[in-house]
Structure 1
Amino acid sequence: MMTRTFPAPGAIFRHAALLVTAALILGPFVWMVSLSIKPPGEIFRASFSFWPEQFYGIENYTKAITQAPLLRYMFNGVIVCASILALQIAVCAPAAYALAKLEFAGRNLLFALVLIALLLPHEVLAVPLFILGAKIGVLNTYAVLIFPYGVSPFGIFLFRQFFKTIPDDVVHAARLDGYSELGIVWKIMVPMGLPAIIAFGIFSVVSHWNSLFWPLIAVRDQNLMPPPLGIMAFKNEEAGNDYGPLMAASTLVVAPLAIAFLAAQRWFVEGLARGAVK
């Protein structure tokens, strides 16, 4: 006679907590998509319904693209995020390798400074960076959106922790084969550290794609605005916010991140597993 097994109370509680958390996180996004397909008369109704009585999605999304150069804003976001990520990897990987595998005086002090830098929000540097940008004449350019983020304490920390897990014998063998230290970084450590690079890339792109504070004070040219700053074009001081196109524009801005994350999620997990086996 077969006996039926029931989930443990702990497992039930964990799944319930996960479901509640997922609902709280996804709720605003569901509401945003719902508002993006509703006409103005249904947006401020007291009763909630996801699907509108009158589908207004084509009008809202068309207005979101035509009312402001949203596609240009998203193109700017791609340029800025890709440039920042490439620069961060170029700077953080050698720095992390030096902290993880090289012996030199002051290494622990430098790593402590990296940890301290992790505690400082980037906004505290906004005034000095703005003054520096004005002095060297890079305000209102792509450069002012990219170079302040070229050094990432989080990237150095993450890469250093991953490089520490790679056996020192691999580094010694590469040196015996005639590799320089930079050759070891780019031909040995970076390929083996691909899981850490993918994880850091996700954090970096999401952070800078959604960044508003620094672009708001460093850029005035509409042709250079990233997506969050461009969305503010839908704010009208006299007529109020145009919520339908505003939510449609927000959906279009969020969609690439969601699609990219879902597409890379399996590769991300498999990459971490392969990195653990190595």
Structure 2
Amino acid sequence: MSARAPLIGLLSPAAFVRHAVLLATGTLILVPFVWMVSLSIKPPGEIFRAGFSFWPIQFYGLENYTQALTRAPLPHYLGNGFIVCALILALQILLCAPCAYALAKLRFAGRGALFGLVLIGLLLPHQVLSLPLFILGYQLGFLNTYVALVLPYVVSPFGIFLFRQFFKTIPDDVVHAARLDGLSEIAIVWKIMVPMALPAVIAFAIFSMVSHWNDLFWPLIAVHDQSLMPPPLGIVAFKSEEAGTDYGPLMAAATLVVLPLVLAFLAAQRWFVEGLAEGAIK
């Protein structure tokens, strides 16, 4: 009886509806990516055919991907993306972890008000701050530099919130024991709290990398030098209003840009789910 119970639960109406909704949602999310990969291996004559088939009659993937890597300096754009995302992530963790520790484990006046400001920061879209940031960058002279791509994101309200929620799940006795051992508050953050919150750090790292790797709005404003362009901005080089957009190389370039994110998520998905689940307890 016990061996058949999971099968019975799986076939229940509620479970069937739940899995059907998940399957339909997953399909809707995957369709654009499947379409992108399909177009990246098709010749121009097959891209706008009335019917759709994933595999082309004439395989044109080698030509499209070769053009994607040679028509514009796509590897250089990818390198810029790695540099910018790595700098942003490192600075975000460096700043967000101590802030989250203070909000989670320290008692001081105004702690609730500061956490309220963090929640307000979560509600504000970053585009709202783009004009003040542009004016500030112009006055300080760091536009069209790596600093312009990194500086606006070094403080992450979401990172503070996620780390704070995870730190609150760590027993206070651990912190008290560390203090009795003579550790300072900063040492507790980096030697005790952050290692114990590794799933949350990995989950936040994935969120941060995906968000800033795919960001087009701010780089479009902040930089114009081709040597500084991140991947989404570099893909625009494949768009031509005069000669017409060559969608095969464009989709091949988009596939190459998305591929590192997919591989990173597949490698870290277990810690990603664990970090979000643990952070949602409090």
Whether 1:162 and 2:166 are equivalent positions in the alignment is yes
- Check the 8 A contact 2:162/2:279 in 1, yes or no: no
- Check the 8 A contact 2:202/2:272 in 1, yes or no: yes
- Out of 7, 12, 33, the residue aligned to residue 8 of structure 1 is 12
Gaps of 5+ in 1: none
Gaps of 5+ in 2: none
Q: CA deviation at 1:136?
A: 1.1
Which amino acid letter does the alignment assign opposite residue 26 of structure 1?
L
Whether 1:68 and 2:72 are equivalent positions in the alignment is yes
- Specify the alignment match of 2:234 in structure 1: 230
Q: CA deviation at 1:218?
A: 0.4
Whether 1:205 and 2:220 are equivalent positions in the alignment is no
- Check the 8 A contact 1:76/1:227 in 2, yes or no: yes
**SS of equivalent to 1:49:** coil
Whether 1:185 and 2:162 are equivalent positions in the alignment is no
Alignment partners' CA distance in 2, 1:86 and 1:245: 33
- Out of 25, 28, 33, the residue aligned to residue 24 of structure 1 is 28
Alignment partners' CA distance in 2, 1:273 and 1:3: 29
Whether 1:152 and 2:156 are equivalent positions in the alignment is yes
- Specify the alignment match of 1:113 in structure 2: 117
**SS of equivalent to 2:17:** helix
**SS of equivalent to 1:105:** coil
**SS of equivalent to 2:250:** helix
TM-score, length-scaled by structure 1: 0.95
Specify whether residues 99 and 48 from structure 1 end up closer, same or farther in structure 2 by C-alpha distance, changes over 3 A only. Answer: same
Specify whether residues 102 and 267 from structure 1 end up closer, same or farther in structure 2 by C-alpha distance, changes over 3 A only. Answer: closer
Alignment partners' CA distance in 2, 1:271 and 1:134: 38
**SS of equivalent to 1:157:** helix
Instruction: Kindly tell me the number of residue pairs found equivalent between the two proteins.
Output: 276
Which amino acid letter does the alignment assign opposite residue 163 of structure 1?
F
Which amino acid letter does the alignment assign opposite residue 141 of structure 1?
T
Which amino acid letter does the alignment assign opposite residue 78 of structure 1?
F
What is the CA deviation profile of residues 6-37 of structure 1, one whole-angstrom value per residue up to 9, with x for unaligned ones? 41011111111111111111001000000000
RMSD across aligned C-alpha pairs, in angstroms?
A: 2.0
- Check the 8 A contact 1:70/1:230 in 2, yes or no: yes
Alignment partners' CA distance in 2, 1:29 and 1:22: 11
Q: CA deviation at 1:219?
A: 0.4
- Check the 8 A contact 2:163/2:279 in 1, yes or no: no
- Out of 48, 51, 55, the residue aligned to residue 51 of structure 1 is 55
- Out of 173, 194, 199, the residue aligned to residue 198 of structure 2 is 194
Alignment partners' CA distance in 2, 1:203 and 1:272: 11
- Specify the alignment match of 1:217 in structure 2: 221
- Check the 8 A contact 1:193/1:275 in 2, yes or no: no
What is the CA deviation profile of residues 194-241 of structure 1, one whole-angstrom value per residue up to 9, with x for unaligned ones? 111111111000000000000000000101000000000001011221
- Specify the alignment match of 1:41 in structure 2: 45
Alignment partners' CA distance in 2, 1:190 and 1:267: 14
Identical amino acids, percent of aligned pairs: 76
Alignment partners' CA distance in 2, 1:177 and 1:240: 68
Which amino acid letter does the alignment assign opposite residue 112 of structure 2?
N
